Chain A
Amino acid sequence: MDEPDKPAVDRRSFLAGAATGAAALLAAQASVAPAQEAPAKTTAPPRPASDFMVDIFKSLDMEYMFSMCASSFMGIHESILNYAEDKNPQSITCTHEEISVAMANGYAKIEGKPVLVCAHATVGAQHAAMALYDAWADRVPIYLLLGNTNDAADRQGEVFWLHSAQDPAALIRDFTKWDDNPASLTHFAESAVRAYKIAMTPPYGPVAVVVDEKLQLESAPPSARIPKLSVPTPPAGDSGAVAEAAKLLVAAENPVIVTTRAARTPAGLALMVELAEALQAGVIDQRRRLNFPTRHRLSGGNVAEADVVLALEAGDLSGVARTVRQRNAKLINLTAGHLFQRSNYQDFQRYTEADLSIAADAEATLPALIEEIRRQTTAARQEFFRQRGERVAAANAQAFERARAEAANGWDASPVSTARLSMELWAQLKNEDWSYVTGWVNWPMRLWDFTKHYQYIGRAGAEGVGYHAPASVGAALANKKHGRISVAIQPDGDLMVAPGALWTAARYQVPLLMVMQNNRAYHQEVMWFQRAALMRNRSLERTEAGFGLGNPNIDFAKLAQSMGVASSGPITDPKELAAAIKRGIGVVKGGEPYLIDVVTQAR
């Protein structure tokens, strides 16, 4: 991991500049002062502590601050706007703390680093909590600053008391890697840098630093300094364990690779291709990131035919482990998840029975594993691998043909099929530099050609509803400077949780094409209701009453327009999609968001 760029504002030069400026000002005043008066003392004005805090954020290369404004971090907010002139970090106004954190989630998965998120320590953290849990379960670095009035003597009335806590981070401690409540500016500086370091050490995760309201408004002592940041190299697997894993894989008749988040960075995606090609083994991508190109000949595989399974940063391995056990096959489980877990929230999934467990970051371990596999592979084995690769490729081609045939079913249906929606989009995106920033539907993964890490960033890590819209706005903001077209297939129920993300997209000209998957119901829950009612031999007639989002139908095009986002729809005839998508891409290329409301099939 490279060390972030040096701060744009160096503390020493800033102080020198401030002193020079103050001296010049005083000199100018002296020129009109009576000659007999003593010269003014040329001392620098007191430096606000929150200016120093902002310099720390600059040293951490924070590009943005996402926040819903709040008095408890007003010192920092004022310093960002006036001292930093609203640059690095730039203040981005969000209309809910859940939006702030989910936007930071989407941003981090594209850009590979956190932004600053600020919130009230009490009511703000409470709003932010679900989005934070999504990030925790998804191993995303979130950098959260919680404003609090620590000293009761400083609380100026009822609201100050309501918005203060003794231990603000307690609420979110179960799903953050680390938190602190620094008592001094020196302490804050250390904790701010330490928090970044912890968030960015695999396994990545959210961190929180409480910042006292009064501390922000104090003056920074001349001795205040920013500690040096050195992000640790990610933990790589023990060489003996890596050699043993390679031995099992090279000897296997039919190894299969299963992964959820192995490609932590773009380099990880390239290494996954190298690994699969070295073994000529299929890769089952559980797709919380783009871990493997979707149309690569080795994409896919069948655990039920495997004699060795290599799991790399895998999430839920319960089904895989059960199959492995039934077949008396071998399971190698390599993950940084072995290194860090919390107890309360159960995102760690079932206990995995493995034959070889390696506590390490997969991406950091892959170079050594690939080298060891190549070293152990004989020429005869290579030929065997080649033939195996041909079989995987044939199965891959058949799966693609099946997907094409299935996509044709319901092609002209109204409401619009999700396959038709996906392929109408693909037809107009495939020759652009695109990024599919979120979407629940599976068709793009089956039929689009994903080759770049930023083209897919997964979904809500904890499957919390309300992630998609803000995360796609945050991801699109990160994609903006790269000139990419960000596209989201946006579930209707999710957008209703946090529609204010649309306003932020319009306010800051975030180029995002948001295409609604408007099935007018909480359809995931519809299916659960059906199962429960049928188990009890009871009626299904009240499904709409409990789970529908119609009556009245939500007009998402008007919702978008009301917040300054241009839009089309609602579209029910699939023949109208192409023109709307063309219009939308044109607007997005012009640097603005666009929403297309499409009334779709349930799934």
Chain B
Amino acid sequence: MIRLLGFCVVLTLAFASAGQDTRAPANRVSAANGATVFMRVGCPACHGTVGHGGAGPKLAPNTLPLAAFTTWVRNGTPGWSYGNGMPAFPPASLSDAELADVRAYLAGLPTPRPADEIPLLRP
């Protein structure tokens, strides 16, 4: 976790939300808190600790804009049913403010090296 937090940067964005915020002050987006929330609600089970993907798609780099990210997390995979795809996360599990923090954490992660720059991934 300490290693993960090392990646994090704190971003400040205008944000208006009445969600159940775990942070203070309420109008600042915290990538550090986003990393904590990301782990707490179990995102790495499918998306990896640095959002690199796994059973689910990668979330970083090129993280979705906040509006699209929120829509996706709130609704899950279109046509989602038990046992198939991304589940929908209601505000009780993840507030709007926490969601913004998670997005900030993902957006702030360093861009991975291209495959061609990694010797073991060269064809």
Q: Interface readout for B34-69 with A: 1 if CB under 8 Å, 0 if not?
A: 000000111011101110111100101000000000
A window 526-584: CB within 8 A of B:
526-528, 530-535, 537-541, 543
Whether a CB of chain A sits under 8 angstroms from the CB of B16 is: no
Q: Is the CB of B53 within 8 A of A528?
A: no
Residue B54 contacts which of A412, A418, A531 (CB distance < 8 angstroms)? A418
Q: Interface readout for B58-90 with A: 1 if CB under 8 Å, 0 if not?
A: 101000000000000000000000110001111
Interface size on A, residues (CB 8 A): 41
CA distance A141 to B21 in the complex (A): 58
Smallest CB gap from B7: residue in A: A413
Residue A414 contacts which of B3, B46, B90 (CB distance < 8 angstroms)? B3
Interface size on B, residues (CB 8 A): 32
Question: Could you write out 11 A-B pairs with CB less than 8 Å apart?
Answer: A404-B123, A407-B121, A408-B115, A410-B112, A415-B49, A531-B87, A534-B90, A540-B93, A543-B42, A602-B44, A603-B48
Question: Could you say which residues of chain A place their CB within 8 Å of the CB of B87?
Answer: 530-531, 534-535
Residue B45 contacts which of A410, A423, A526 (CB distance < 8 angstroms)? A526
Residue A535 contacts which of B46, B50, B82 (CB distance < 8 angstroms)? B82
Q: Is the CB of A410 within 8 A of B90?
A: no
Question: Could you say which residues of chain B place their CB within 8 Å of the CB of A543?
Answer: 42
Nearest CB in chain B: distance from A404 CB, A = 4
Q: Is the CB of A603 within 8 A of B54?
A: yes
Nearest CB in chain B: distance from A96 CB, A = 30
CA distance A413 to B88 in the complex (A): 27
Q: Is the CB of B55 within 8 A of A407?
A: no
Q: Is the CB of A532 within 8 A of B120?
A: no
CA distance A408 to B61 in the complex (A): 11
Question: Could you say which residues of chain B place their CB within 8 Å of the CB of A531?
Answer: 82-83, 87
Q: Is the CB of A532 within 8 A of B113?
A: no
CA distance A523 to B43 in the complex (A): 12
Nearest CB in chain B: distance from A400 CB, A = 8
Residue B90 contacts which of A418, A426, A447, A537 (CB distance < 8 angstroms)? A537
Question: Could you say which residues of chain B place their CB within 8 Å of the CB of A530?
Answer: 42, 45, 87
Q: Is the CB of B54 within 8 A of A408?
A: no
> Measuring CB to CB, which residues of chain A are less than 8 angstroms from any residue of chain B?
400, 404-415, 417-418, 420, 423-424, 426-427, 447, 521, 523, 526-528, 530-535, 537-541, 543, 601-603
Q: Is the CB of A410 within 8 A of B50?
A: yes
Nearest CB in chain B: distance from A328 CB, A = 22
A602 with B45: in contact, given A406-B58, A528-B83, A531-B82 (CB under 8 Å)?
Answer: yes
Whether a CB of chain A sits under 8 angstroms from the CB of B18 is: no
Q: Is the CB of A413 within 8 A of B52?
A: yes
B window 76-123: CB within 8 A of A:
82-83, 87-90, 92-93, 112-115, 118, 120-121, 123
Q: Is the CB of B53 within 8 A of A534?
A: no
Nearest CB in chain B: distance from A448 CB, A = 12
A424, A447, A530, A541: residue with the most chain B Cβ atoms closer than 10 Å: A530
Given A410-B112, A541-B40, 12 further pairs, Cβ under 8 A = A400-B123, A404-B123, A405-B115, A408-B112, A410-B48, A413-B48, A413-B50, A423-B120, A534-B89, A538-B92, A602-B48, A602-B54
Q: Is the CB of B55 within 8 A of A408?
A: no
Question: Could you say which residues of chain A place their CB within 8 Å of the CB of B121?
Answer: 404, 407-408, 411, 423, 447
Q: Is the CB of B115 within 8 A of A404?
A: yes
Question: Could you say which residues of chain B place their CB within 8 Å of the CB of A407?
Answer: 115, 121
Nearest CB in chain A: distance from B78 CB, A = 16
Q: Is the CB of B113 within 8 A of A408?
A: yes
